[in-house]
Structure 1
Amino acid sequence: MTKLALSQVTLSHFRSHKRAVLDLAPRPMAIYGPNGAGKTNIIEAISLLSPGRGLRRAGADDLARRPEALGWKISAILQSLHQTHELETWAEPGSPRQLRIDGKAAPQVALGRIARVLWLVPSMDRLWIEAADGRRRFLDRATLSFEPTHADAVLTYEKAMRERNRLLKDMVRDPHWYAAIEAQMAEAATQITTNRNRAIDELAAAQTAAVTAFPTAALTLTYPDPLPDDLQTALADYRSRDMAAGRTLLGPHRADLEAVFADKGINARDCSTGEQKALLISLILANARALAQDFGAPPILLLDEVAAHLDATRRAALYDEICALGAQAFMTGTGPELFTELGSRAQYAEVTEEQGLSSVQRKDMI
């Protein structure tokens, strides 16, 4: 299968890493070490090789190593299908993140055209029982993996909605102020909803077609109020209600992602902690399988503390699926014993920390 893989990643003044260089093979990598050593910082850096703010959603200034705060930089060599790309992303103090691809300045959306990166982090373990905005972000990340322009549609919609909300709060009643904004919102909303529904269909098909040790999650989009076919007219009709609330109450920004443990018919929010984790892993694997077909290569996977809540049998099943998929997966854990089932199929690195400085050492097979 055609590969999507990093052959080298270099971190400079990033989080706890003053400098770290990882020379990589196109196969899974297990990164282990004690809590706080800097393992997650490595995969956060890799997550910034995709559009957006990375797996922690941190601001550019928050990524710089302290106390120096000199700014930070991530460099990488990416094999994407049949091409090799040099990637550089960085930020100077007080400045936004910048990106170069093959030596040329590029917008972040360009990363989505040459790479696909998926992640699962411990903060997502509560995805099914917390607020809807986290589930929307989860769905939008999956959607972005299939359609890189999805981010543009979301940004366009949110910008227009903020402008409409300002008019509502200022009690502006003249319809001429709203017409163009609501037309823009409606157009973007159509694209957002189409993209999200496509992603749900892709995930459903990938789950149905697979033989896997992980449960199937049936997904649906829900709304407090049904999303009308003609959103522009509905927004005009809802102005009085929205003005009373001081914000827009109808649109794709109100969507929620509902998941049901298909074999048991139980909503994900009512499942056990272990079942909720298994459902998340199932969706990440389904996303990866679908992308292997859609993009032409499996995505890069970032799985932080992935062994949590998994017994040895299910842990082995996860590693088998990752290897069968052919994905370059970066997995973190507190000790090498969590990756025993991977054996020679993986590469290994130990991360240690002393006086706030992380170091990375490659290891032979554990």
Structure 2
Amino acid sequence: MHVTRLVLDHFRSWTHCLIDFEPGVTVLYGRNGLGKTNIVEAIEFLSTGASHRASASAPLVERGQRTATIRANVASGGGDGADVADADGDDGAANAEGDGTNHDSAADVTTYTVTIPLRGGNRARINSEASVYLRDIVGRVRTVTFAPDDQLLVSMDPARRRGFLDSAGAQLVSGYYEALQGFTHVARQRAQIFRQIAQDRAVGRDISPLLAGLDAWTGGFMDAGIRLTRMRARVCAALQGEFASIYADLADDGSRATMRYTPNFTEALPLLAVDGTAQALGSDDADDAPDDAPDEAAAMDAVRRGISGHFQRIYEGEVAQGRNLIGPHRDDIVFELDGAPARDYASNGEMWTIALALRMALFRVLDRMPGGSPILILDDVFSQLDATRRARIVDFAASCDQTIITVAAPGDVPEGIDARLVDVAAVKEESDASPW
């Protein structure tokens, strides 16, 4: 799989941009502020429906404009993808329903177009077909991005690690992006009801209508949260083995790194046992799973009862704070190095190695899925790495179908990379001069 052409309109700092790509390694070079990262961010957004640089879509639209557009021609030599971690048991890649094109052809090129309005929902189009939701194309183009702040995946707050889970899940699990959107919507509505209850109670208004609505939203919150929890457990279970193996190879010092998913809905453990993903919680938590996993219906009933009881205990706290105090929005991944929490004990170098191993594990899992090898994006990472890690990344990049690298100057690219160089300043000058 590789991008052959990328066209941007009013995306970030780009009023217009057109770049042709080839298989192999492409280096985008230019001084800071020219928009190198914006180019690869557009490809990442097309792939995962999100950006590692922004939590919302509005910042992606050029200032003073109402809409941004990403258009990419993508060549794929593989067949339609297959989901390796589908919590619902569906076949097929993430959102990979047939689009009317022949993906078995080595020369097949599909055009994906994403429209990002300043307000409202994002839309997408495949070739010249009718407009669809963004979720309908997320996961069709696969990418793995290495960024300068990747070590913060280990050291910073859980939101970063959930962001990784979501970008990985969008590509690995059929329906993940839709499930995430559904949970986010329900969570916002439920939190709004809590705030309204607090306001009405303060002025003596009858809150019984709000309580009736809260019951309905709480049921939806549980269902959406359980679904997302199961999907995230499958994502972690798919990555764990590769992550541990790659870390051992990168570190080459006998140290051992592990990762485990820590769902905030702890009551969901019986369902994860049914799914066969309890190992994603790590050995200590997995030991709590019953030897004979219950069937789906019994497990779901037990989980819902447990979560309902939890909600009853924290009701006053949720009203007082106006937010949801439990749920997948508080999930985390715990990384351990030789049995100790990496966040507390790992050095900067070890955190970098953990982050690199995590990204490479995602690449390997995606690469094993039918549908084409992922596009590797290295966004200004070489300056952050020592010589040994740079050499490992160079070897890794050389083995990929397509790698896109951003650097400030051509000399920043390590030796040993046979790459096509693209001067971003020249691209910008040509784009600004084009009549469009």
List structure 1 runs of 4+ shifted beyond 6 angstroms. none
Which residue, 392, 395, 399 being the options, matches 1:317? 392
Q: Which residue does 1:343 correspond to in 2? A: 417
Alignment-derived partner of residue 70 in structure 2: 74
Corresponding residue number in structure 2 for 1:39: 36
Q: Determine if contact 1:214/1:279 at 8 Å carries over to the other structure.
A: no
Is the partner of 1:22 in helix, strand or coil? Answer: strand
Q: Secondary structure of 2:10's partner?
A: strand
Tell me how many residue pairs correspond in the alignment.
351
Q: Give the aligned partner of residue 101 of structure 1.
A: 126
Structure 1 length-normalised TM: 0.84
1:128-162 deviation digits (Å, cap 9, x = unpaired)? 22221221111121122201411221222222233
Distance change in 2, residues 1:217/1:337 (3 Å)? farther
Give unpaired runs (5+ residues) of structure 2. 79-102, 199-206, 271-301, 432-436
Root mean square deviation, CA, Å: 3.0
Structure 1 partner of 2:306? 234
**Cα separation, 2, equivalents of 1:313 and 1:360:** 38
Distance 1:352 1:239, change over 3 A: same
- Which one has the bigger helix percentage? 2
CA distance in 2, matches of 1:300, 1:360: 26
Are the equivalent residues in 2 in contact too, given 1:224–1:254 (CA < 8 A)? Answer: yes
Out of 253, 256, 263, the position equivalent to 2:329 is 253
Name which of 231, 238, 243 aligns with 1:202: 238
Q: Structure 1 stretches of 5 or more lacking a match?
A: 362-366
Counterpart of 1:364 in structure 2 is: none
Query: What residue identity is the alignment partner of 1:256?
Result: D
249 and 234 in structure 1: CA distance in 2 versus 1, 3 angstrom threshold: farther
Higher share in strand: 1
Distance of 1:208 and 1:35 partners within structure 2: 35
Cα distance in structure 2, aligned partners of 1:55 and 1:343: 26
Number of the residue aligned with 1:55: 52
Larger Rg: 2
Please point out which of 403, 410, 432 is paired with 1:329. 403
SS of corresponding position for 1:11 = strand
- Structure 1 pair 192–30 and aligned structure 2 pair: CA distance change class (3 A): same
Give the direction of change, closer, same or farther, for the CA distance of 1:96–1:153 in structure 2 (3 Å limit). Answer: closer
Q: 1: distance between equivalents of 2:182 and 2:303?
A: 15
Three-state SS of the structure 2 residue aligned to 1:308 is helix
Alignment partner, residue 184 of structure 1 = 220
> Counterpart in 2 of 1:135?
161
Distance of 1:154 and 1:188 partners within structure 2:
8
Q: Which residue of 2 aligns with 1:162?
A: 188
Q: Deviations over 1:6-29 (max 9, x none)?
A: 111122333333333221112222
Question: In the alignment, what sits opposite 2:136?
Answer: 110
Q: Is the 8 A contact 2:47 2:140 kept in 1?
A: no
The 5 A counterparts of 1:237-316 are: 237=309, 238-246=311-319, 247-262=323-338, 265=340, 267-316=342-391
What SS does structure 2 have at the residue aligned with 1:331? strand
Q: After the TM superposition, which of the residue ranges 295-304 and 30-39 deviates more from structure 2?
A: 295-304
| Structure-1 separation of matches of 2:413 and 2:376 | 16
- The answer (yes or no) to whether the contact 2:240–2:260 under 8 Å persists in 1 is no
Is the CA contact 1:17–1:359 (under 8 Å) kept in the aligned structure 2? no
Aligned equivalents of 1:245, 1:218: Cα separation in 2: 34
Q: Is the 8 A contact 1:231 1:251 kept in 2?
A: no
Change (3 A) 1:310 1:250: same
Q: Which amino acid aligns with 2:179?
A: A
- In 2, Cα distance between the equivalents of 1:316 and 1:265? 28
Give 1:218 shift: 1.2
Offset, 1:108 = 1.2
Cα distance, 1:307 vs. partner? 1.0
